[in-house]
Amino acid sequence: MAVQINPSILSADFARLADEAKAVEGADWLHVDVMDNHFVPNLTLGVPVVESLARATDTPLDCHLMIEAPDRWAPQYVEAGAGSVTFHVEAAAAPVRLAREIRAKGARASMALKPATPIEPYEDLLPELDMLLIMTVEPGFGGQAFLDIMLPKIRRTRELISKHGLELWLQVDGGVSASTIERCADAGADVFVAGSAVYGANDPAEAVRALRTQAEATTAKASWACNH
């Protein structure tokens, strides 16, 4: 299981996004938080910025849509250049149909769960997805403290993925840092979104490397990875 580190541009300088993307060129993906001030109480960026960012970097874009009506908007982010598009199950009208449409347009389909949303009701949907995102903070703002109470949910999700023999990435987003990434990796996450832990560092690229080293070392001895 390959560890992936996805810096979140929510913590970057929005006036210098092209430069900020280059500052983390060793990252696996660039995580782009799209917020509409309806589904979450914050407003960030949309399709035109994603289009520009896709032209400005070779790092693939991982778009996390914290918006209402993702069934309508998500396909446009694929067309804008996103390589992975995540919609929230709480906002989607038809999550299976939406996941299939995202895949049909050529991107990886991902579904996100807010902290209070259980994974179990969506077990049958997992084969339709390429990634599942467990939010480890309430979505809407960067820089929040990691919610340790999400660790059992990450473990249960990894167990469901293993139960069905799926090659499904398990992403965590919110409060991921040097002090929390090992707990996430041990619980079963293999894709890590990090915002302030990367862009708040003096050397963002080195911060990505350090987080990757921590996560890889933990994954190597994690029971879930050894049994995979």
Residues 178/196, Cβ–Cβ less than 8 Å: no
Find out whether 79 and 65 touch, Cβ atoms under 8 Å.
no
Choose, from 33, 62, 130, 186, the residue flagged as catalytic.
33
Q: For residue 36, indicate whether it is catalytic.
A: no
CB 209 within 8 A of CB 192: no
Residue 17 burial (CB count, 10 A): 19
Contacts for 152 with CB less than 8 Å, ≥ 6 apart: 187
Tell me if 140 is assigned to a ligand binding site.
yes
Distance, CA of 104 to CA of 109 (rounded, Å): 10
Burial class (CB in 10 A: 0-12, 13-18, 19+), 77: buried
Q: Which of 28, 36, 173, 190 is catalytic?
A: 173
Instruction: Give CA 222 to chain center in angstroms.
Output: 21
175 annotated as belonging to a binding site for a ligand: yes
186 known member of a binding site: no
Q: Is 46 annotated as a binding residue?
A: no
The CA distance from 8 to 4, in Å, is: 13
26 carries a ligand binding annotation:
no
228 is in an annotated binding site: no
On whether 195 is known to bind a ligand per the annotation, the reply is yes
174 known ligand binder: yes
Instruction: Say if residue 11 carries a ligand binding annotation.
Output: no
- Concerning whether 33 is annotated as a catalytic residue, the answer is yes
Q: Are 44 and 33 in contact (CB under 8 A)?
A: yes
* Helix (H) / strand (E) containing 99: helix 95-104
DSSP code at position 36: B
Q: Which residues of 23-38 are buried (b: 16+ CB within 10 A; e: fewer)?
A: bbeebbbbbbbbbbee
Q: Which residues does the annotation place in the binding site for substrate?
A: 8, 64, 140-143, 173-175, 195-196
Q: Which residues does the annotation place in the binding site for a divalent metal cation?
A: 31, 33, 64, 173
Q: Give catalytic residue positions.
A: 33, 173
Q: Which residues does the annotation place in the binding site?
A: 8, 31, 33, 64, 140-143, 173-175, 195-196
